[in-house]
Structure 1
């Protein structure tokens, strides 16, 4: 496979509260094209474009589609977030940043792929823009607030108190690292967030859905992909990967890539 640098394009686009960093991967050495629905990636709570690593290049190569990823406001190479996250932040992505990205790049039809909380954001985007969303892929997504999720977050919060851990996060988020960590832990652990779920958005979907989950995911049980499939129509499929944790696209990328190819066929 050619080096990703041979077929990537980096952009910074204006949004309501600051600039968003965007990267586009194109199959082989082609220029970015959105004539065929691109795959749009939504990162996790501590994630950013760089932390997708080589997965988007592989995804573009194996599907023949352009792949688009962006850093949410406050993350990675995007501008700082102007304040604290609201408890509606998962759904806000479908109303604010994603339409800005879609309009700026001239994206019509698209395929949404979200990891962890990005899976919830991808679900909202698929429901809100259902006339253009051809398929939804969730990976390690949370469909509701589960005790297992909260316990995993509490353990991670303790881990970040150890020397050097916040500095590791700063490698990707710079001086926004503390905000990124608090936005994840304090929002999810707040009692005000306890009743959050994706139920209403899942019930609105009418596109094929693939719910990928590792059977050893420390941030959510297999109840989440089962819930996603149950609340969507008959074109939904659950892929539970044996011996896999919270990041299947890094731990077992070939399994994830093959499942995406099968879905898009």
Structure 2
């Protein structure tokens, strides 16, 4: 596959970031991935404390998480691994003519995350103690990783995940496109991405493609056997409670938390309630 180039190594959003070179995978060519350790006190080969891997939303990046991974890792007593997926932040951008496939989230879970873990020397013993924490599209990727690699994690926390496409999601994403093209939203997002159009249109185009409308990972959830916490805000304008209720119907041991006065981003809308829910759940598994 063609190497699409590398993101610039310096940016206001890149302070503290490092870069991992990933080899070609079944779904993508060689990649340069921006990543950052949180609470990293020693070499990544050590087993103590466990690692929490953070998977960002459809328009996210390392910088857009702000300080929430740090706050949560301190609460959990874990190290954190935060990274920008291809097309986002300072990672390899999407080529202008590249359109993401319908199964792009599966490719991220199946190929990109394991390749990054390999590149960082995170072995199977460490992965068995690792928690995967994902938001929105990142929550879907976390679910897929937990299903594809059920022995390579300790548990998963998914926040406002998508397991099928709802009308409310498509409507809100269409509205976001209008805002991106007519307001200062593009300029605001450009603070967090070296190639903001790569980040925005990669996500927006596939979600608005009619071919994506039947997308569903509902049946793919069945193999999940590690502890699973699914969290959704009652005021989420990108998805309804049907998303996490469906997860519970497929994964009998899943625990659900439904947050009042909370929209699509609980780590911004209700961080205290979110952190309390995650800390209680993780503590109960130890």
Q: Normalised by the size of structure 2, how large is the TM-score?
A: 0.85
> How many angstroms does 1:121 deviate by?
0.6
Task: Give yes or no for contact 1:24–1:32 (8 Å, CA) kept in 2.
Answer: no
Tell me, what secondary structure is at the counterpart of 2:230? strand
Note if contact 1:18-1:80 (Cα within 8 Å) is conserved in structure 2: no
Matched residues in 2 for 1:95 and 1:207: separation?
Answer: 17
Moved more, 104-113 or 142-151: 104-113
* C-alpha distance in structure 2 between counterparts of 1:232 and 1:53, whole Å: 31
1:38 aligns with 51
Q: How far did 1:32 drift?
A: 5.5
Aligned to 1:90: 105
Superposition pairs of residues 44-55 of structure 1, within 5 angstroms: 44-55=57-68
* Aligned mates of 1:220, 1:192 — CA distance in 2: 19
- When the two structures are aligned, how many residues end up with a matched partner? 254
Among 133, 155, 168, the residue aligned to 1:113: 133
Give yes or no for contact 1:48–1:71 (8 Å, CA) kept in 2.
yes
Runs of 4+ deviating beyond 4 Å: none
Tell me, in whole angstroms, the C-alpha distance in 1 between the residues paired with 2:72 and 2:244: 22
Aligned residues of 1:123 and 1:136 also touching (Cα < 8 A): yes
SS in 1 for 2:134: strand
2:181 matched to 1:161? yes
Check the 8 A contact 2:234/2:260 in 1, yes or no: yes
**Cα distance per residue 1:35-87 (max 9 Å; x no partner):** 14311111111000111101011111101100111101110011212422111
Give the TM-score normalised by the residue count of structure 1. Answer: 0.91
Residue 33 of structure 2 is aligned to residue 20 of structure 1: yes
Q: Which residue of 1 aligns with 2:74?
A: 61
Question: How far is the alpha carbon of 1:120 from its aligned partner?
Answer: 0.6
How far apart, CA to CA, are the structure 1 residues paired with 2:106 and 2:182?
32
**What are the ranges of 5 or more consecutive residues in structure 1 without an aligned counterpart?**
1-7
**What is the DSSP-based 3-state SS (H/G/I as helix, E as strand, rest coil) of the residue aligned with 1:172?**
coil
For residues 209 and 81 of structure 1, what CA distance do their matches in structure 2 show?
Answer: 31
| 1:251 pairs with 2:269 | yes
Alignment partner of 1:205 out of 218, 221, 224: 224
